C-alpha cells in the first residue's frame, strides 16, 4: 500500500487549520473488513445503542489494539504530534438512519479538562466505517479554532442533541464538512470547534475515532480512575502510567 506519511504541506495545513482530510485508504481491504466486523459485534452487544455505550471499546476488546497501535495510523499521527505517542482513547460513533441526534458544537478538550497537563498536541483520527457525508450528518469543523480549547458553553435540549451543552455563538456558515468514503479518515486537533448535524437520511453513519497525545503531556492519574493509556510509539517523557510499561 501507499505510504501514509503526511507531506510537509499537509502538516502545515493541519497546524494552520486544526484539521486535515486524508482521502486515502488507511488500512488494507482485509484489515478494514476485520475492523468493521468488530464494530458490528460491539454494536450488537450494546443493543445497537449509541455513543457512550461504545466509548473506549478497546478496553473490552483488545483486538482493536491491532488497529490503534498500527504503523498505518501512527505514521499519520507522528508528523502531527511528534515521535513520542500515547494512545489516549477510542470510540465507535454511530448515527442511526433517520433518528441520529445532532452533535452540538464542542471541543473534545473541554470534556478532558484537568485530565491531562496540556492539550496542544492531541490528535483524533476519525476513520469512516460507513460513507460519511453531509446528508447523513458527517462531522464538520470551524477551521482555525484550535488555539484555545475551552470556550463558553450554554445548555441545549438533550432530546435533540447527543450532549446537553453547546459552544455559544457559532457561525455555522464557516463550517467545513468532512465527507469521507469508507476506509478514508480525517485528523483534527482536540481543541478545534466541531460538531455534526442530525442524521435525517436513510443511511447509517459510523466512524471509529482513534485519539493520541504527545507523551510530553502527563496523564493525571487521580483524574482518570479506571482509564488506561498505552505507549504507542517512542518514549514516555512526562511519567504517565502506561499499560505496557
- Residues 204-234: pLDDT tens digits? 999 999 999 999 999 999 999 999 999 999 9
- Residues 145-176: pLDDT tens digits? 999 889 999 988 867 777 778 999 999 999 99
Query: Which residue segments constitute the domains of the chain, with CATH numbers given?
Result: 8-233 (2.60.120.620)
If DSSP states are collapsed to H, E and C, what string results for the chain? CCCCCCCHHHHHHHHHHCEEEECCCCCCHHHHHHHHHHHHHHHHHCCCCCHHHHECHHHHCHHHHHHHCCHHHHHHHHHHHCCCEEEEEEEEEEECCCCECEEEEECHHHHCCCCECCCCCEEEEEEECCCECHHHCCEEECCCCCCCCCCCEEECCCCCECCCEEECCCCHHHCEECCECCCCEEEEECCCCEEECCECCCCCEEEEEEEEEECCCCECHHHCCCCCEEEEECCCCCCCCECCC
Q: Which residues pair with 124 in a beta bridge?
A: 188, 211
Count Cβ atoms below 10 Å from residue 205 Cβ, excluding itself.
25
Q: Tell me the C-alpha distance between 44 and 204, whole Å.
A: 15
Over 60: is that where the pLDDT of 3 sits?
no
- Residues 108-125: pLDDT tens digits? 999 999 999 999 999 999
Amino acid at each position: 500500500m501507499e505510504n501514509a506519511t503526511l507531506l510537509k504541506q499537509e502538516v502545515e495545513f493541519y497546524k494552520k487549520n486544526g484539521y486535515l482530510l486524508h482521502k486515502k485508504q488507511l488500512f488494507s481491504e482485509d484489515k478494514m473488513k476485520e475492523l468493521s466486523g468488530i464494530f458490528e459485534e460491539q454494536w450488537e452487544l450494546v443493543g445497537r445503542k449509541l455513543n457512550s455505550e461504545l466509548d473506549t471499546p478497546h478496553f473490552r476488546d483488545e483486538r482493536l489494539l491491532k488497529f490503534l497501535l498500527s504503523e498505518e495510523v501512527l505514521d499519520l499521527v507522528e508528523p502531527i504530534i511528534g515521535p513520542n505517542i500515547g494512545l489516549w482513547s477510542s470510540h465507535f460513533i454511530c448515527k442511526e438512519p433517520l433518528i441520529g441526534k445532532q452533535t452540538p458544537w464542542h471541543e473534545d478538550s473541554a470534556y478532558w479538562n484537568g485530565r491531562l497537563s496540556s492539550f496542544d498536541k492531541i490528535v483524533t483520527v476519525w476513520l469512516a466505517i460507513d460513507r460519511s457525508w453531509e446528508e447523513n450528518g458527517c462531522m464538520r469543523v470551524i477551521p482555525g479554532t484550535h488555539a484555545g480549547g475551552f470556550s463558553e458553553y450554554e445548555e441545549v435540549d438533550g432530546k435533540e442533541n447527543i450532549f446537553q451543552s453547546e459552544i455559544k455563538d457559532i457561525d455555522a456558515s464557516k463550517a467545513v464538512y468532512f465527507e469521507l468514503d469508507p476506509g478514508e479518515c480525517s485528523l483534527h486537533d482536540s481543541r478545534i470547534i466541531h460538531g455534526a448535524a442530525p442524521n435525517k437520511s436513510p443511511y447509517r453513519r459510523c466512524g471509529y475515532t482513534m485519539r493520541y497525545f504527545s507523551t510530553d503531556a502527563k496523564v493525571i492519574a487521580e483524574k482518570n480512575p479506571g482509564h488506561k493509556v498505552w505507549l504507542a510509539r517512542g518514549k514516555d517523557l512526562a511519567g504517565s502510567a502506561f499499560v505496557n510499561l
